[in-house]
Amino acid sequence: MKLAVLLCLSVATLSCLASCTPERVVNPMHPPHTSPGDDPVQHDVSGGVAPGGTVHGLDGKDVDLASLWDKQRLVIVFYMGHWCPHCQKQLGDINARLGEFTKANANVVAISTDTAEDATALRQHLNLAFDLYSDPDMTTIQKWGVADFGTSIAKPATFIVQPGGNIVYRRVGNNETDRPSVDEILGELQ
């Protein structure tokens, strides 16, 4: 009898835990991409040469990322989208201390799958003083190894690229809240 009660409690507990599993964060603006056989993060580009890529500026013009780290360090923040409160907080925190990035001879840019219109609205809403770029087809996001095709977003990730293209810092979040603090990023720039 005790064994039957214990078994019932165990099954009930496991059922409860299974129903409490958080749902995946999915980009509400784009259907999921598919890439057979790919893991959400395809490859690790840390410690190597930055893969570059072309992204779309908010003015509609294409921008070659390699041109942005030609003369100074570049902090690249991949964010999930304008709709993400964790992204908004991270970008706002960076913006509040942008002068410290400038003193460290580093420029900051942020990239997502947002449309130019959505990125422009986010930039205005947060009064951001650094550039946001759009990569709606995830071509560049995939090159950097942070594409999550199942959700059509970039994993939250931050890279520091030296002039010439060497990556000296890489942090890819395991979930939407796993991001480096501004202090951590600035510490890596020292």
Residue position matching structure tokens 């599993």:
21
- For 73-156, strand residue ranges (E) read 73-78, 106-112, 131-134, 147-148, 153-154
CB-CB neighbours of 19 under 10 Å: 7
For 58-101, what is each residue's pLDDT tens digit?
999 999 999 999 999 999 999 999 999 999 999 999 999 999 99
Per-residue pLDDT of 118-167, as tens digits, reads: 999 999 999 999 999 999 999 999 999 999 888 889 999 999 999 999 99
pTM beyond 0.85, yes or no:
no
